A and B are shown apart, each in its own frame.
Chain A
């Protein structure tokens, strides 16, 4: 083979390798992530105030995921319910959370997690009633931010409840409000800016060992981040 030909082939080889490496790296930075959603907030005298609305559904359905049977959190945006679990929040803000749970109970292994912590008054309002703990056997999911000390467990929809939500495919996304659900409300505060992870602590990934596989280990379903920005 002549020198010129060898040069061309070598250059081609380098180019192909470079392109493959480029695709590999850019794919990896996207894999298993979730787009970030900037939660809108208003300003009050005491600082920013956020109204955060999210829901947990038993099965996310084919329109929202390639894994329709995965359990998931969905957040209420102005475009409807979306499966995004990375939320941008302002620092030093008061965050009022309304959480609709459409899923049944799996039960906690640690009763410790059944008592709300890191939230105003260490109390949570469930279907209108203020409580300082729920029955650990009744727990369906938790919203927990360990780095901020926030743990809130939500009770589940009763097993024999009528009109339960199968897939989160109501118009506008998510489960329809007419289906069986529990309403959980609490308030917490953000302080220093940072990147805080949140997760569910209830072993709710049915079918996986210990209930912690699949959606429980995938950002975009039962895990996410709070990006607290100044």
Chain B
């Protein structure tokens, strides 16, 4: 235990560097955190086009505000420490004080980091279970927007285009995604071949399209808008081109679009009850879940 600086040690200095750093950090955090929370946080995508998207923005806002003090701490620590404790050329290989640890600092650090982490995990869980946050939850979703009858749309991923089936419109299928505004939508995402991923960017919805799996995602649309739909899982040659534009429209515009699509789809209607491909299920029911054939089990709460 060296209590006197030896000949090979740098002279001891007794300024309370730690206090200076902590004060500087507190001041900087107090200034930066509200600035970030108010100005930067709301700018983080995906935006407010859907309720789930809004939830994600809030979530990101909270996290950004929490990491701001962490960034400030390290910035102040290194900014101060690297300048203050920079070895002078003449003393370059003189040893510093032999401090091997401090159990109080260690305990404080463990407690603070654990608290932050547990809070984030709890907060994230709350945001997730509130309304599903727009993510695919598998065939037995546990988090959905409150109660009422959602509007079902089946999203079919295949190499290399998304098509959409509307069970409540007579099973009509289209390559255009139109959604009514201000509605709870229940998306059933599935794939006919390899793994794709349905990403409605501005709505904050992403659900993998896994073959043979019904991946349910919920989104509550707000006002009319357009959004990008992109495939977010590498699915082969044309994966980069697997995108189109989705539309959220007013109910009357949606009805007009649906009527037009039904007229066009009528050309296929004679074939819908024929068995598909060598005696398989009829086309109307040829993939999971069968459109119009009942909604999946949704657990209450």
In the complex, which residues of chain A have a beta carbon less than 8 angstroms from the beta carbon of B268? 111-112, 114-115, 133, 136
Stretch at the interface among B75-83, B84-92, B152-160, B222-230: B152-160
Q: Decide if B174 touches A112 in the complex (CB within 8 Å).
A: yes
Q: Decide if A133 touches B194 in the complex (CB within 8 Å).
A: no
Q: Decide if A109 touches B287 in the complex (CB within 8 Å).
A: yes
Query: Once the chains are docked, how many angstroms separate the CA of A151 from the CA of B287?
Result: 21
**Chain A, range 179-230, C-beta contacts under 8 Å to B:** 197, 199, 201, 203, 209-210, 212, 216-219, 223
Query: Quick one: given A136-B276, A223-B238, are A111 and B193 in contact (CB under 8 Å)?
Result: no
Query: Once the chains are docked, how many angstroms separate the CA of A197 from the CA of B268?
Result: 26
Q: Decide if A109 touches B159 in the complex (CB within 8 Å).
A: no
Residues 260-301 of chain B, each 1 if its beta carbon lies under 8 Å from chain A, else 0: 000011011011101011100001001100000000000000
Q: Decide if B265 touches A137 in the complex (CB within 8 Å).
A: no
**Which residue of the partner chain, among B161, B194, B270, B283, contacts A210 with CB atoms under 8 Å?**
B194
Tell me the nearest residue of chain A to B240, going by C-beta: A197
Query: Quick one: given A109-B158, A136-B271, A146-B244, are A197 and B283 in contact (CB under 8 Å)?
Result: no
In the complex, which residues of chain A have a beta carbon less than 8 angstroms from the beta carbon of B283? 111, 136
In the complex, which residues of chain A have a beta carbon less than 8 angstroms from the beta carbon of B161? 144, 146, 201
In the complex, which residues of chain B have a beta carbon less than 8 angstroms from the beta carbon of A217? 236-237
Tell me the nearest residue of chain B to A197, going by C-beta: B241
Query: Once the chains are docked, how many angstroms separate the CA of A110 from the CA of B175?
Result: 11
Tell me the nearest residue of chain B to A212, going by C-beta: B159
Query: Once the chains are docked, how many angstroms separate the CA of A199 from the CA of B193?
Result: 16
Query: Once the chains are docked, how many angstroms separate the CA of A151 from the CA of B176?
Result: 13
A107 in the interface (beta carbon within 8 A) = yes
Tell me the nearest residue of chain B to A133, going by C-beta: B267
In the complex, which residues of chain B have a beta carbon less than 8 angstroms from the beta carbon of A216? 159
Query: Once the chains are docked, how many angstroms separate the CA of A203 from the CA of B192?
Result: 10
Q: List 25 A-B contacts (CB under 8 A).
A: A109-B158, A109-B287, A110-B163, A111-B173, A112-B173, A112-B174, A112-B265, A115-B268, A133-B270, A135-B274, A136-B268, A136-B271, A136-B276, A144-B161, A146-B241, A149-B175, A197-B241, A199-B238, A210-B159, A210-B192, A210-B194, A212-B194, A217-B237, A218-B237, A219-B237
Chain B residues with a Cβ under 8 A of chain A: 156, 158-161, 163, 173-175, 192-194, 211, 236-238, 241, 244, 264-265, 267-268, 270-272, 274, 276-278, 283, 286-287
Chain A residues with a Cβ under 8 A of chain B: 107, 109-112, 114-115, 117, 122, 132-133, 135-137, 144, 146-147, 149, 151, 197, 199, 201, 203, 209-210, 212, 216-219, 223
